[in-house]
Copies of this chain bind each other. A is one copy, B any other.
């Protein structure tokens, strides 16, 4: 049984709270928020003790590990503190918005080497991991193309967009991580282009809400990502791996699996699951499971800090490519 301190009590903390409680090997010990009344609200729903004193939380011997689900700009400080306290860390993605600050995280973890896992939850979705395993065991031979679709139901509030680090760092980073993880290599060059088609405020803020990205791998495999901040039929999430010997695709998901036929449409399914909380619900459970097992088994968890740095370097190269109109080599 692993005693957990949950850092943060905002949206992502409310994703992890119930998952911690439903996991047979995890127990919520405390919820930290500098604003203690916010922590108390989470404690009311998920149990544990509320605290605004991080030092006390990390000093608590009942706390075996921390889950960092706070705003991105606080990750560095909390990773440093938790690492110093010797507590294994599960940290929401992205690690940070700049390579300079990510490198400070990596240095902190090198100085105090605790088990560390980055919340690239999509790797732990059963369909995604089944595709990755099939590709890695050579089921379709060497990869020719690897394609990822990620289209969100509707644009987030402009305030969210402004502090998100840009669409590539905020969203494409998931597709980028999956592509590197599935392909087993990282791109030597990327090209990205974007448009603002849905919320003019996003364009005014210098960001895009519809992008396409091409990633050229050392093996010759070429990857593609398309991201849209709007999608009429729900949260469209697809992967297509095309190799020398065949192709494997994932399927989209709905709340209801019925097939409907009527006078206007046949073989119709309902719209897709609404957004990532619904679509990737199981993946958060499996991610925590990987974290807990890796600690129990004394091995590094699957999505490490270096994976976070790689994905960020690529996402930043995408953003540069979009702005400069040319292919960019990521700064690994």
Chain A residues near B (Cβ < 8 Å): 126-127, 130-131, 134, 139-142, 144-145, 147, 151, 189, 191, 193-198, 210-212, 214, 216, 220-222, 224, 226, 228, 230-234, 236, 242-252, 254, 256-272, 325-327
Contacts and interface: CB of A to CB of B under 8 A. Distances in A.
A268 B266 contact: yes
A211 B242 CA distance: 13
| Number of copies of this chain that the complex holds | 4
A23 B23 CA distance: 13
A242 B270 contact: no
A46 to B, nearest CB: 13
Residue with the highest number of chain B CB atoms closer than 10 Å, among A139, A214, A243, A265:
A265
Contacts of A247: 232-233, 236, 260-262
Contacts of A139: 260
B144 A210 contact: yes
B249 A228 contact: no
Contacts of A263: 232-233, 245-246, 271
B222 A212 contact: yes
A272 B266 contact: yes
A251 to B, nearest CB: 5
